[in-house]
Structure 1
């Protein structure tokens, strides 16, 4: 696999001289078909060169000539039944949707009303035959059909106006047929058919589909969480210095060239250049670097990074929508918007199935009426056709498989939040891993110690004593490695922390220094015999800390820190390769560290020092080569690549933005679960297809029988009930799945 060269900046696509990319906020969309229909409307406008509608962010991205007014798009959206408003080009990063979590109360209410209707069927299985009075069934089913199910009628009407078919149209037709037949039988003066009512069919179908819609709405709400997590990195206030005085102002009031004051531990509010101060800055959310990096005057810092122990004075160079963080947010939004929604097999079938069923029902009514002259019998046969075509099993086919598959996955530490990942995982041919926190444990550890003089115990005691009060990650790793006996009774005094370099202090009257090579050079200390070891360790990507006694001017020892490989990382890569899946490592860390991890895990290729935009471009490059790509990461810097990939897989315990941008989260943070997540997705997708087949075969067999008058409504309802049982039973076979089973498609 090939990667594009690393680019240290996020470069937005240049705009054509005559074309302009505009963004519009959209209100009124309910489902994916709304977004698809609106895209079609916008693309038909004169002059529009492209349109993408993002249901998750409720925004439309339209490319059109500069001379065309935005009002043209707004008016077209209004005529389509929605509302639109243009977003200014200089606006701050896109804000999270105001949409709250979907309301589950309609589902609960529908279930409460439907259970009494279904209960007699359950008792019949046990040999107890009883039925609710017809008028009570009507009382329970009516609010489910025409109040809670009103949304399906509205959606069906829009689909008909657009000359398309969807599941809502099937639901509206099927449940209306069952409800209408039941009402006809209930009101039949002869009373002969009162025993055959189908109110439970219409109510149950409405309830099940409402539940599926609720699950879908929750998934869309979670998709917006990626942008909300990124937004949380942007401080609301910035401290600026004017005429020697510091004051806090809203972040949107900062302008380029303002001097921004950063205290220890504060998050950077703007992109800028350091003019005063030394510090270590945690840029892991931007670069993937596992350790804070030293920063000094002249160095750049980016919005969203966290300042270390030193105070900094930064001159703002980019604010608002121009910051690196804002562009990362836009990359996530654009990647989500660019994902073509996966057309459900049931929806594709419904575009043909619905008109065929209507034609068969009409033909049945006309044929029997002409042949027998019995209008009532013809009507019963025609309605039987509609009852047998009621999409109960079609509505259950995919949700049943999804619930069973995701439930089995969750029991083994795999959380599937994006059901579209299930449908695409079977085609994955390349897996791209981030390094820090993914293949490695994500925290520095003391890996090696080199001595110039003395012994290891004494060297460790001196180092731990100097670093006793430090919160630096390397200091914590040193104390963890030393354990309880680390200090050996020593006490340090006159401790001075030197941001970006290290620490100095006195122990038993001797002055010591501990830090990087720059600190040694400032005190005239030469690496001496440890220079060769230091060069080798740096080449392998380790972070180094020197310990020296100032009086001697010679180093006492050298500590090498690194991010240790996860125990299952190499096995995880081997498992994927055994499945015929290519593997790659792409990281923002240094080349030496990337090379070491690639060698230890056996990935097919690796790339280092890649920023978030570069990671997303690498994923896109693989997709252009024909790969179906899964991206595995845990950091905020991985969010654009996770969103750009066909499937994003986040490591549990990582950044919220990474987890929310991914479709799958590995709750145990075990890379071996990557292959397992692909396996359960393949099996679940296979069950979905099998269920759709069984749901359809009943229609293929029963529709002709119903049209020929060989079925009555009771038999039709039983056939559809049997189809529902079969798809649920087939889906429940997924409960036996285990991660260590051989991968297959069944």
Structure 2
């Protein structure tokens, strides 16, 4: 089942996603890709057997005309261009409410069962052989009506001078049916020759059964996409604008515009990304971030479309809609990952290109070999048929995409968005993890840690005065001062300060209650000629401990000089779980590094709290934003595979240079959006513990890919010789072939049970 429609208006320009019906094996994938790449303007075409879809990149040209040519190319190759809606309907709606693809299976079982019954009777000494004409009547509809799909697809493959699964099934079952008719026609009157009608009918029925079971399993691998799509509410309660609308109106979510205000009732899903403008509540964002605990939402907080509103009714101002919403970007990332091919798939494509011709040659050699030993023609032909049937390359085509779909789907459920299959495959090789400090390992929001007042100066008065001076500023340190004042319930009037001026890179000046004040860095104080006196030693000590130190100073009457009032020490706090994440990655044998633009003292102080070993070179401080990419490049030397974890705009170059970039998303979006686009993996929660979880699901997914490829090759490596040597009948070969596809997809579905590893408490700091 494909996950995209051919008419999706949200698709990026130059990209076409289209569903393809009728593909059954790796050879089909190869043929469709070749047909698409021959079309004018097509720069790249990737076909996915598990999603039954193709992604085509177009360079310029007329998009509608390109889509028409692509559809025609798919049809000329022998397959059916489809939209997602058509595939969904075909999968679930049919005669008597049954899925359409199960009806041929049921008919095949009904017609084949009487043919198998004599084989069962032989086991108990009974002889229940049906008359030849009855076997012919039962087997012929199965061969030419239910099996018509194999003839059509096989004929298209021959015209394209390639082979596929259907061609092998068509040749093998036709040979068994024709041999039976020949033996029946040659038999003397009254004789009952051994016929092989049951082989042709049962093989076709088993193949149809296997494809139905496989389709059911494949639909489960896309459950993550369907679950995300189901989060989109259909209607929104649009509040009046006071002009055109004078009352609340229920409108389709697609009609919302940025700036609209909607009411979200308890238990409803937020219709779009926005900001709470009235009311308070809690939001369940578990389907988007993997975080099970509800998140409190107050006025000014951001909400994400698709998350579930808790117990409070709130009014939300719409910020982003359609393809620009967080939910749409998440769905797009998961779809991109599931539509792409992992590098290991290239090996499968190379094998598929020569597989069917090689099998046809082996089947011919099998028949000639048995004839050379004196075996009767009919028996030699049946051995060749068994080779053709068991060698169908269905499992090869499903091994990689089924595992990728299951792995990326379950990862998205837990808040880990994997952008492409290449990132997934590389991540399992990672041996080095480099963290940005601010906002990744730390909260990224400085706090006022302490106030060191000058002798005779009241600490509370200093805080209230500093807050008044910073009331109009949006600087992170200013917000930290205001937060500290609010925490102590100090009243701060917005207009308490006059003539406030921000001095870039230094601080701010203004007048509070008639006194001229300066609040800024130690370097600025030195430029102003301010003597810190007894506070100087304390300022130096606070800096060595990793704090950012500012000074509040007042100017004497008449502007004759400045006097220090207090030191304000600011510091960031490590994120909850950051130390545990470091310990977990260290236990997994990873090389660890923290890359920071802070001064050496601040970086070393935070590293000690996190459990990083500065003596081993794990702290890289005083790195300019533009130099982070160069640091990552150095870490890659010597063959190391590096993952860079960051969250901001200045991390994007480093994320792009790393073997795998991991971006931590903020609930408010913003600057982290750039990091998300530069990274191969996005962590929807700012939780460092998710880094280890992302590496774990990568390892498990790659392990499933390898297991699937092993079993897919093993079926053929073991099955073809056994069939050629006469140890497998066509019926047993058909059952084994069907089982191979089902087992590969079922093995991939085991990934759906994955959960992030249990967290260990961090050990003692070194």
TM-score with structure 2 length normalisation?
Answer: 0.57
1:503 has 2:508 as partner: yes
Give the structure with higher Rg (CA). Answer: 2
1:454 has 2:452 as partner: no
Corresponding residue for residue 444 of structure 2:
442
Alpha-carbon distance change, 361 to 565 in structure 1, aligned in 2, over 3 angstroms: same
Corresponding residue for residue 198 of structure 1:
204
Corresponding residue for residue 472 of structure 1:
475
Q: Is the 8 A contact 1:631 1:648 kept in 2?
A: yes
Corresponding residue for residue 270 of structure 2:
none
Corresponding residue for residue 659 of structure 2:
646
Alpha-carbon distance change, 507 to 205 in structure 1, aligned in 2, over 3 angstroms: same
Alpha-carbon distance change, 620 to 377 in structure 1, aligned in 2, over 3 angstroms: farther
In 2: Cα distance, 1:374 partner to 1:711 partner: 17
Of 682, 707, 720 in structure 2, the residue corresponding to residue 703 of structure 1 is 720
Corresponding residue for residue 567 of structure 1:
576
In 2: Cα distance, 1:116 partner to 1:722 partner: 21
Corresponding residue for residue 408 of structure 1:
410
In 1: Cα distance, 2:395 partner to 2:151 partner: 22
C-alpha RMSD of the superposition:
5.0
Corresponding residue for residue 602 of structure 1:
611
Corresponding residue for residue 587 of structure 1:
596
Q: Is the 8 A contact 2:664 2:685 kept in 1?
A: yes
If asked which structure has higher relative contact order (CA below 8 Å, sep 6+), I would say 1
Write the mapping of 1:352-391 to structure 2, written as runs, cut at 5 A. 356-368=358-370, 381-391=383-393
Q: Is the 8 A contact 1:464 1:487 kept in 2?
A: no
Q: Deviation digits for residues 176-196 of structure 1, max 9, x if unmatched?
A: 323555677899995946734
Q: Is the 8 A contact 1:117 1:199 kept in 2?
A: no
Shift in Å at residue 608 of structure 1?
2.4
Shift in Å at residue 630 of structure 1?
1.9
In 1: Cα distance, 2:626 partner to 2:512 partner: 48
In 2: Cα distance, 1:423 partner to 1:676 partner: 15
SS of match in other structure, 1:198: helix
Alpha-carbon distance change, 127 to 441 in structure 1, aligned in 2, over 3 angstroms: farther
Corresponding residue for residue 684 of structure 1:
701
Q: Is the 8 A contact 1:439 1:569 kept in 2?
A: yes
Alpha-carbon distance change, 436 to 536 in structure 1, aligned in 2, over 3 angstroms: same
Shift in Å at residue 398 of structure 1?
2.5
Write the mapping of 1:249-648 to structure 2, written as runs, cut at 5 A. 341-342=343-344, 346-347=348-349, 356-368=358-370, 381-452=383-454, 453-483=456-486, 486-488=489-491, 492-500=496-504, 501-517=506-522, 520=525, 525-551=530-556, 553-603=562-612, 604=616, 605-611=618-624, 614-648=627-661
In 2: Cα distance, 1:489 partner to 1:200 partner: 79
Q: Is the 8 A contact 1:178 1:202 kept in 2?
A: no
In 1: Cα distance, 2:441 partner to 2:159 partner: 50
1:116 has 2:100 as partner: yes
Shift in Å at residue 541 of structure 1?
4.8
SS of match in other structure, 1:483: helix
Q: Is the 8 A contact 1:357 1:386 kept in 2?
A: yes
Q: Is the 8 A contact 1:479 1:486 kept in 2?
A: no
SS of match in other structure, 2:443: strand
Shift in Å at residue 450 of structure 1?
1.9
Shift in Å at residue 583 of structure 1?
0.6
Shift in Å at residue 694 of structure 1?
2.2
Shift in Å at residue 109 of structure 1?
4.8
Shift in Å at residue 385 of structure 1?
2.0
Q: Deviation digits for residues 248-306 of structure 1, max 9, x if unmatched?
A: xxxxxxxxxxxxxxxxxxxxxxxxxxxxxxxxxxxxxxxxxxxxxxxxxxxxxxxxxxx
Q: Is the 8 A contact 1:466 1:495 kept in 2?
A: no
SS of match in other structure, 1:406: helix
Q: Is the 8 A contact 1:179 1:199 kept in 2?
A: no
Corresponding residue for residue 663 of structure 1:
680
Alpha-carbon distance change, 524 to 127 in structure 1, aligned in 2, over 3 angstroms: farther
Corresponding residue for residue 751 of structure 2:
734
Q: Is the 8 A contact 1:428 1:629 kept in 2?
A: yes
Alpha-carbon distance change, 178 to 652 in structure 1, aligned in 2, over 3 angstroms: farther
SS of match in other structure, 1:195: helix
Corresponding residue for residue 297 of structure 1:
none
Corresponding residue for residue 238 of structure 2:
none
Shift in Å at residue 716 of structure 1?
2.3
Q: Deviation digits for residues 313-340 of structure 1, max 9, x if unmatched?
A: xxxxxxxxxxxxxxxxxxxxxxxxxx99
Alpha-carbon distance change, 364 to 143 in structure 1, aligned in 2, over 3 angstroms: closer
Q: Deviation digits for residues 510-554 of structure 1, max 9, x if unmatched?
A: 332323346545665332322223233344554333222222721
SS of match in other structure, 1:515: strand
Shift in Å at residue 437 of structure 1?
1.6
SS of match in other structure, 2:445: strand
Shift in Å at residue 719 of structure 1?
0.7
Alpha-carbon distance change, 449 to 628 in structure 1, aligned in 2, over 3 angstroms: same
SS of match in other structure, 1:438: helix
1:717 has 2:746 as partner: no
In 1: Cα distance, 2:439 partner to 2:153 partner: 49
Shift in Å at residue 474 of structure 1?
1.8
In 2: Cα distance, 1:613 partner to 1:348 partner: 42
SS of match in other structure, 1:442: coil
Alpha-carbon distance change, 539 to 109 in structure 1, aligned in 2, over 3 angstroms: same
In 1: Cα distance, 2:348 partner to 2:702 partner: 13
Q: Is the 8 A contact 2:434 2:592 kept in 1?
A: yes
Shift in Å at residue 496 of structure 1?
2.0
SS of match in other structure, 1:658: helix
In 2: Cα distance, 1:370 partner to 1:722 partner: 33
Shift in Å at residue 721 of structure 1?
1.9
Q: Is the 8 A contact 2:30 2:349 kept in 1?
A: no
Alpha-carbon distance change, 486 to 510 in structure 1, aligned in 2, over 3 angstroms: farther
Q: Is the 8 A contact 2:546 2:606 kept in 1?
A: no
Alpha-carbon distance change, 123 to 412 in structure 1, aligned in 2, over 3 angstroms: farther
Alpha-carbon distance change, 128 to 720 in structure 1, aligned in 2, over 3 angstroms: closer
Corresponding residue for residue 256 of structure 1:
none
Q: Is the 8 A contact 1:435 1:585 kept in 2?
A: yes
In 2: Cα distance, 1:111 partner to 1:548 partner: 71
Q: Deviation digits for residues 18-50 of structure 1, max 9, x if unmatched?
A: xxxxxxxx999x99999xx9xxxxxxxxxxxxx
Gaps of 5+ in 1: 1-25, 38-53, 58-81, 86-97, 158-168, 219-338
SS of match in other structure, 1:610: coil
Q: Is the 8 A contact 2:108 2:146 kept in 1?
A: no
Q: Is the 8 A contact 2:501 2:508 kept in 1?
A: yes
Q: Is the 8 A contact 1:431 1:583 kept in 2?
A: yes
